[in-house]
Amino acid sequence: MHPEGFLEVITGPMFAGKTTELIKRIERQIFAKRKAALFKPAIDNRYSESEVVAHNGLRYDAFVIPTDGKGVEMIEDITKKEGFEVIGIDEVQFFPMPVVEMLNRLADDGVYVIASGLNLDFKGDPFPVTKELLVRADNIVYLTAICTVCGAPATRTQRLINGKPAPRDSPVILVGGRESYEARCRKHHIIP
């Protein structure tokens, strides 16, 4: 379906189905007899230590990678050593900026790269890694969720602390699920 050497980015807020879409695309490539693999950041152990798991329970085995420069090198080394034709990276926003050039290089070398990550942090600011990948992408899949307040299309992720919007000075990275986050539309996304 996609030519060799292709960089695709799946983005949007939490609960938009990004991981489900990533797994679906990897499975499709495997059905097409292409050698494919998934990578996930080690810090995302919400549902599994060794699998990429969507909020709907869909799961897939993955290489677990530290979110540092060494981890970025590991993705490239494993991809080349194993001869993967297609790779998927879940939660790409957790990796450091060098992941952008590395994924771009793999695409230049003929690998079909699918990177999935959040568009914006809880404050509504772009994640730098996702933003840089978007401008280099050959294709962008922008997914929306459903606003938990009004049911409109949601493009933002609301962080909650004890059911209330998190203050602006909260840490940017907090791995969590429905207990900490909701999908919200522009109108109902609140930053105190």
Question: Which residues are marked as active site?
Answer: 91
Q: Between these two residues, 43 and 114, which has the higher pLDDT value?
A: 114
Q: Is the pLDDT of residue 43 over 90?
A: no
**In 38-122, alpha helices (H):** 69-82, 98-108
User: Quick one: three-class SS letters along 122-140?
Assistant: CCCCECHHHHHHHHHCCEE
Q: Is the pLDDT of residue 48 over 70?
A: no
Residues of the chain with pLDDT > 90, as a percent, come to: 78
Q: Which CATH fold topology does 6-144 show? A: Rossmann fold (3.40.50)
Q: What is the pLDDT of residues 61-72, one digit of tens each?
A: 899 999 999 999
Q: At what angle do helices 98-108 and 69-82 cross, to 10 degrees?
A: 20
Mean pLDDT of 113-132: 97
Q: What is the pLDDT at residue 46?
A: 67
Q: What is the pLDDT at residue 176?
A: 67
Q: Do 67 and 42 form a contact (C-beta atoms < 8 A)?
A: yes
Residues of the chain with pLDDT > 70, as a percent, come to: 93
11 strand-pairing partners: 117, 142
95 three-class SS: coil
Burial environment of residue 59 by CB neighbours within 10 A (0 to 12, 13 to 18, 19 or more): middle
* The token pair that represents 12 in the structure block: 């949007």
Q: Residue ranges of the domains in the chain?
A: 6-144
Confidence of residue 1 (pLDDT cuts 50, 70, 90): very low
Mean pLDDT of 62-88: 97
